[in-house]
Copies of this chain bind each other. A is one copy, B any other.
Amino acid sequence: MTIRIVETVFDPFLEIQHFQTQLALNGKCGATSIFIGTMRDFNDGDDVRAMTLEHYDGMTQKQLAKIIATAKEKWAILDELIIHRIGDILPNEPIVVISVWAMHRAEAFEACRYIMEELKSHAPFWKREILTSNESRWVLKNTSGKN
């Protein structure tokens, strides 16, 4: 399990690839499920120019570790990586990456989605958007992950 909170732009593919080379999966991993959340240039009908992400350092890491521990109780998964940006973010930049390695696909898919939904509802991050009008505002709540 690895949790990283980063302040600068990162390449999700290089990060996952690098993490994976350090795993001793040795033929045991049949399924990897990855989610990448990226900053959009619109929200709630307005054009967004940039975003600042605040977090509660310490509690973030504690809550994410707890979410992964619960996922490991629910599903047979081999390893997990979470990377989350904080600070100033521009459209198209990755905000969050979750990657779950498992023997079988159902476990990988379900654990990855579970971790993402729990992160959205429990990890202490807050987004402040800067609109193209230069007005800035706090995002009031996350949208539901259900269809």
Does A92 reach chain B (CB closer than 8 Å)? yes
Q: How far is the CB of A105 from chain B (nearest CB, A)?
A: 5
Contacts of A106 in B (CB 8 A): 144-147
- Nearest to A111 among chain B residues (CB) is B147
- A29-B40 in contact (CB<8A): yes
Contacts of A147 in B (CB 8 A): 75, 106-107, 110
Copies of this chain, count: 2
Does A55 reach chain B (CB closer than 8 Å)? no
Q: Which of B28, B35, B108 contacts A41 (CB 8 A)?
A: B28
- A37-B105 in contact (CB<8A): yes
Does A53 reach chain B (CB closer than 8 Å)? no
Q: Name which of A13-21, A63-71, A121-129, A133-141 contacts chain B.
A: A13-21
Please judge, given known A-B contacts A106-B145, A145-B106, A146-B106, whether A28 and B40 are in contact too, CB under 8 Å: yes
Q: Which of B17, B26, B37, B42 contacts A27 (CB 8 A)?
A: B42
